[in-house]
């Protein structure tokens, strides 16, 4: 039998594919390059550009200029960066682009950022380490209340498939403009849980991440709407529909996963709008969740919003606290635009002697904080 293909299949493939498919072929340079001392170099080849900048959350001033040398634009951070997951984009003569040399990008609402991780300390929780990994599934449930099939992200911990055990469940909700993908992408929820569980710092648990936009089936590009543009301006987000339908999510999960089907096996938490949803769902169904986490939460609905969900809020909160939740946890950054609303809400809880825990961090309404809050909150769940 003669040799039908040449030894260098790879070389031929590269050649032919380039000829047939003009889109292939990546970058010739490395960017970002993380040096051993944790300084980082960004590079771009843009021969005709006049000005190239990098915009990123690691820069004290948010922007830095790249300098051209031998055809390659370059910028190296003057100081090592602290351990963290960072996001950035580039500006070429004012045009915002993703770094063509970095394929690791995460969408947050309408913008796609390039990402990198400086390892160490807390940022090691955001990395994929050589430890057992849970499973992340995209699964659809039917909501009679909302009249549609809807998409969920479900994390099951390592060992779930091979055990007959029942697991507790954390319901984890995204913010405005987000979707069922947000917590596993910028939120690094599966990495955080894998790492905490492997370190013995969190109990093995299922994490359920639904889509909090009651008018939508799924994230942009993942529903029958097709490849639509994401939007912050969605209908039916903070007007009661999501909260009303929520028991359908819990029933679906209890039916299809080996869960602990009782209050002591359930937590609910969310960021911003998701914190608002967590507050109102947990008070509406006071026998459903023993653990509640409000991360940079919005507190009250808009004053024109009418829904039975928002009737008698104080009375429902009273009922909820009379039933003594195992943990009611409020976290916020000291520069968050919702800081005062949370302070006022804590005052209400204090005035009534309702027991909660409070966790304050620097900075504002950003993913860096929400990843920290998830790690802190998840470590306190289901311990008894």
- Region 23-82 residues binding its own copies, contact defined as CB under 8 A: 23-27, 30, 44-50, 55-57, 62-63
8-40 in b/e form (b: 16+ CB < 10 A) is: eeeeeeeeeeeeeeeeeeeeebebbebeeeeeb
Q: Cβ 205 to its own copies, closest distance in Å?
A: 17
From the CA atom positions of the chain, what is the Rg in Å? 23
Residue 154, C-beta contacts closer than 8 angstroms, at least 6 positions apart: 136, 137, 139, 206, 207, 208, 209, 253, 257
Please select the residue that binds its own copies; options are 35, 79, 82, 111, rule is CB under 8 A: 111
Residue closer to its own copies, measured from CB, 183 or 291: 183
Q: In the window 131-150, what residues touch its own copies (CB under 8 A)?
A: 132-133, 135-140, 149
Q: Does 162 bind its own copies (CB under 8 A)?
A: yes
Distances (CA, A) of 375 to 340, 378, 380: 24, 5, 9
Please select the residue that binds its own copies; options are 202, 205, 209, 298, rule is CB under 8 A: 298
Distances (CA, A) of 345 to 99, 124, 137: 42, 33, 36
Q: Cβ 370 to its own copies, closest distance in Å?
A: 12
Residue closer to its own copies, measured from CB, 5 or 164: 5
Q: In the window 177-216, what residues touch its own copies (CB under 8 A)?
A: none
Task: Name the segment binding its own copies (CB under 8 A); options: 87-95, 239-247, 286-294, 375-383.
Answer: 87-95
218-226 LR contacts (CB < 8 Å, sep 24+): 218/150, 218/151, 218/179, 218/180, 219/151, 219/179, 219/180, 219/181, 220/179, 222/138, 222/151, 222/179, 222/181, 223/151
Q: Cβ 204 to its own copies, closest distance in Å?
A: 15
Q: In the window 316-355, what residues touch its own copies (CB under 8 A)?
A: 335, 337-338, 340-341, 344-345, 348
Please select the residue that binds its own copies; options are 78, 95, 144, 322, rule is CB under 8 A: 95
Residue closer to its own copies, measured from CB, 28 or 322: 28
Q: Cβ 56 to its own copies, closest distance in Å?
A: 8
228-252 in b/e form (b: 16+ CB < 10 A) is: eebeeebeebbbbbbbbbbebbbeb
Q: In the window 248-277, what residues touch its own copies (CB under 8 A)?
A: 255-256, 272
Task: Name the segment binding its own copies (CB under 8 A); options: 195-203, 217-225, 279-287, 373-381.
Answer: 217-225
């Amino acid at each position: 039998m003669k040799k039908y293909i040449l030894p260098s299949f790879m070389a031929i493939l590269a050649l032919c594919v380039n000829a047939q498919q003009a889109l292939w072929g990546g970058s010739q340079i490395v960017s970002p390059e993380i040096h051993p001392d944790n300084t980082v170099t960004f590079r771009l080849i843009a021969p005709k550009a006049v000005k190239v900048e990098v915009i990123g959350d690691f820069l004290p001033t948010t922007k830095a200029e790249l300098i051209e040398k031998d055809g390659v634009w370059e910028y190296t951070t003057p100081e090592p960066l602290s351990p963290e997951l960072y996001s950035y984009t580039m500006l070429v003569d004012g045009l915002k682009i993703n770094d063509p040399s970095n394929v690791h990008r995460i969408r947050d609402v309408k913008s796609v950022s390039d990402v990198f991780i400086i390892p160490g300390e807390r940022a090691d929780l955001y990395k994929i380490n050589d430890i057992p990994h849970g499973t992340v599934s995209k699964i659809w449930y039917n909501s009679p209340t909302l009249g549609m099939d809807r998409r969920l992200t479900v994390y099951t911990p390592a060992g779930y498939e091979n055990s007959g055990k029942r697991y507790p469940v954390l319901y984890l909700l995204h913010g405005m403009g987000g979707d069922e993908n947000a917590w596993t992408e910028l939120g690094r929820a599966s990495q955080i849980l894998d790492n905490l569980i492997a370190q013995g710092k969190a109990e093995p648990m299922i994490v359920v991440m639904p889509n909090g936009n009651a008018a939508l089936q799924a994230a942009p590009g993942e529903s029958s709407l097709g490849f639509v543009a994401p939007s912050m301006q969605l209908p039916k987000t903070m007007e009661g529909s999501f909260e009303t339908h929520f028991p359908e999510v819990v029933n679906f999960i209890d039916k299809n996963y080996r869960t602990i089907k009782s209050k002591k096996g359930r937590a609910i938490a969310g960021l911003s709008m998701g914190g608002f949803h967590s507050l109102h769902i947990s008070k509406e169904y006071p026998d459903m969740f023993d653990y509640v986490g409000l991360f940079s939460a919005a507190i009250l609905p808009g004053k024109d919003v009418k829904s039975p969900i928002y009737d008698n809020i104080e009375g429902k909160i009273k009922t909820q606290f009379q039933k003594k939740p195992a943990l009611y946890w409020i976290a916020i950054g000291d520069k968050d635009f919702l800081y005062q609303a949370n302070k006022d809400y804590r005052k209400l809880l204090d005035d009534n002697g309702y027991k909660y825990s409070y966790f304050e961090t620097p900075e504002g309404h950003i993913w860096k904080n929400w990843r920290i809050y998830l790690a802190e909150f998840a470590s306190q769940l289901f311990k008894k």
